[in-house]
Amino acid sequence: MKRFDKWGNSNLHKQWQNELFLQAKEWVLDAGIMIRDNLNKPLSVMTKTSHKDLVTTMDQQVEKFFTEKIKATYPEHRILAEEGFGDQVTHLKDFVWIIDPIDGTMNFVHQKRNFAISVGIYYDYVGHIGIIYDVMADELYYAIKDTGAYKNDMKLPMLTKDLPLSESILGLNHSWIMENRFVNEKYMQKLIKNIRGSRTYGSAALQFAYVAEGSIDGYLSMRLSPWDFAAGTIIVNEVGGLTTSIYGDSLNLLKPSTVFTGNPYIQKHILDNYLKVKEL
C-alpha cells in the first residue's frame, strides 16, 4: 500500500508524479498484453444503449484488472471507469483515475485493431497524467503535466500555430454533414470542402493521440463520456492544443459532452466560422 501524504494540499511533487506515471504505464502495458494474448479466443459481445454501443467480457476484465490494482496500491484514490467497476465519482478532489479499458470497442470486435486503453489521472480537478495505448500497434502516447507529451519515448513537438485550413485533416464521422441536432450541416459541408481531408477512426482516444502528434489537426465528436477524453485532453494540452465543447466551453470531466480538440489555430477558426450551433 502506498500513500501520498507528503503531497498534502500542495501541487504534486515531480518525483511522485513520475512514480505514479511509471506505475500506471506498467499496468497499461500489462493490460495490453492481456488483450493481445486473448485476441483470438471466443468473446461475448453485448450491446448497451443501442446496437452501436458495445461491451465485451474483455472490456470488463481489463477494467477489473485496473480497479483491483489501483485499490490495492492506492486505496485512497477513486476511480471513474466506463464499465461500472469503479466508484460513484461526484467530484475530482484528491486523486481520481478516469479509465476506459477499451476505447473503440466496435473496432476491437469487428477489426481487432484501432482500439486503445485510456487512463487519465486527476488531482484536485487538474489533469496530471494521460496515457493512451494503441494496443495492436504497441504505441504508447502519454503526457505528464508541464513536462510534455510523448509517443513511445519520442517527445512530441508543439503544434504549429499557423496551419492553414487547406492543409488540415479532421477526424469526424458522417453525422456532422448529415442533418443533425447540433450544428448547421451546410457549414460543415463547406468545411469538408475547405480542408485537405477527413478521417473516421472509431476511437476517440486514438484521435486525441493523433491530434497530439499532428497526424490529424482536429477531432470532433457529438457525444463523448469523461473516460473517452480524460487522458486525451491532458496529452493534447501538453503540445499546445485546445479542447472544448463545440460551444467553445471547457469540458466537465464528470459529464458527457460534445468535444472539439485540435491545433489551437484551426480549432478557434472552425469554432468561429463553421460550427453554427443550433439552439437546443
Question: Residues interacting with ligand 2AM, by CB under 6 A?
Answer: 49, 52-53, 100, 103-105, 202-204, 223-225, 228
Q: Taking a C-beta distance cutoff of 8 angstroms, is the pair 15, 27 a contact?
A: no
Give the whole-angstrom CA distance, residue 213 versus residue 192.
21
Whichever of 134 and 217 has its CB closer to Ca ion, that residue is 134
The least CB distance from residue 249 to Ca ion, in Å, is: 24
The least CB distance from residue 63 to Ca ion, in Å, is: 9
The least CB distance from residue 154 to ligand 2AM, in Å, is: 24
Give the whole-angstrom CA distance, residue 91 versus residue 125.
8
> Binding partner of residue 171 among Ca ion, ligand 2AM, none, CB under 5 to 8 Å per kind?
none
SS3 call for 74? coil
Q: Which three cell numbers stand for residue 138?
A: 504497441
> Binding partner of residue 52 among ligand 2AM, Ca ion, none, CB under 5 to 8 Å per kind?
ligand 2AM
Give the whole-angstrom CA distance, residue 188 versus residue 43.
38
- Which listed residue (86, 92, 100, 206) binds Ca ion by CB under 5 A? 100
Q: Taking a C-beta distance cutoff of 8 angstroms, is the pair 262, 172 a contact?
A: no
Whichever of 100 and 217 has its CB closer to ligand 2AM, that residue is 100
Q: Which three cell numbers stand for residue 21?
A: 506515471
Whichever of 100 and 217 has its CB closer to Ca ion, that residue is 100
Give the whole-angstrom CA distance, residue 91 versus residue 254.
7
> Binding partner of residue 223 among Ca ion, ligand 2AM, none, CB under 5 to 8 Å per kind?
ligand 2AM
Q: Which residues partner with 116 through β-bridges?
A: 103, 134
For position 63 contacting Ca ion by CB under 5 A, the verdict is no
Give the whole-angstrom CA distance, residue 234 versus residue 253.
12
The least CB distance from residue 274 to ligand 2AM, in Å, is: 20
Q: Taking a C-beta distance cutoff of 8 angstroms, is the pair 242, 159 a contact?
A: no
The least CB distance from residue 98 to ligand 2AM, in Å, is: 12
> Binding partner of residue 53 among ligand 2AM, Ca ion, none, CB under 5 to 8 Å per kind?
ligand 2AM
For position 82 contacting Ca ion by CB under 5 A, the verdict is yes
CA-angle at 25, arms to 231 and 121, nearest 5°: 35
Query: Which chain residues interact with Ca ion by CB under 5 A?
Result: 82, 100, 102-103
